[in-house]
Every structure is written in C-alpha cells, then in structure tokens.
Amino acid sequence: MRGRRVVGASVLLRRPARPAFEPDDLLVADQPATHNALGIGKAVLYGREAHIAEELQRTMPPEGLPQPTGVRLASRGGDPAVDRQGGLVRHRCAGKGG
C-alpha cells in the first residue's frame, strides 16, 4: 500500500502436500515485496516531478535575453551568436541531470 492506495499484491502459494509457510519464509518473501513497493512509489513520484518540471518549463519561458554590448544573443530556434570573429553557442538540454 502507498498511503491508503493499493499499488500491488504478492501471492504466495504452496502445494497441499507441502507444509505451511514458516515465519522465516514470510520474512524472506516480505523483502522483495517491500523493495518493489518502494520502487513503484519512487516511479510515481518521479512521474509527478517530471510533469511539474515540464509544465513549469512550458509556462514560464524567459521574458527576454539581456543585450550586452558586442554580443548577439538568440534563443529557442533563433540564430546563434556566431560570426567570423568567433562565437559562443550554449545549448540547454532538458533531462534529469547528474
């Protein structure tokens, strides 16, 4: 469960001829179930964070670029500041980072 919401289930079965599960068996089975539940929770959280980040990037574009003397700036598809004297191109790549 994540909060009060079920996001998965584990089913443990044994053939009728086998003895019932011992408490140690259940402890061992609980470990991967807990690990999977944490992974699902992290995936859900990452999805929410990614959606929020995308919405912020989409709805909050920069108002404009500074216009320093001797430099020509462009953004989002504009011509990069390149001439025969040299140039600088900065490219922003959306992603997780590292």
Q: DSSP letters along 31-57, please?
A: HHHHHHHHHHHHHHHHHHHHHHHHHHH
Kindly report, residue by residue over 5-32, the tens digit of the pLDDT. 777 788 889 999 999 999 999 899 889 8
* pTM (whole model) above 0.85: no
On whether the CB atoms of residues 81 and 88 are closer than 8 A, the answer is yes
Q: How confident is the model at residue 96 (pLDDT cuts 50, 70, 90)?
A: low
What's the confidence (pLDDT) of residue 95? 64
Half-sphere exposure of 21 (CA within 13 A, CB side): 12
Q: The tokens of 11 are what?
A: 């089913």
Q: What is the mean pLDDT of residues 31-57?
A: 89
The DSSP H or E segment spanning 86 is strand 86-88
CA angle 31, 48, 2 (to 5 degrees): 35
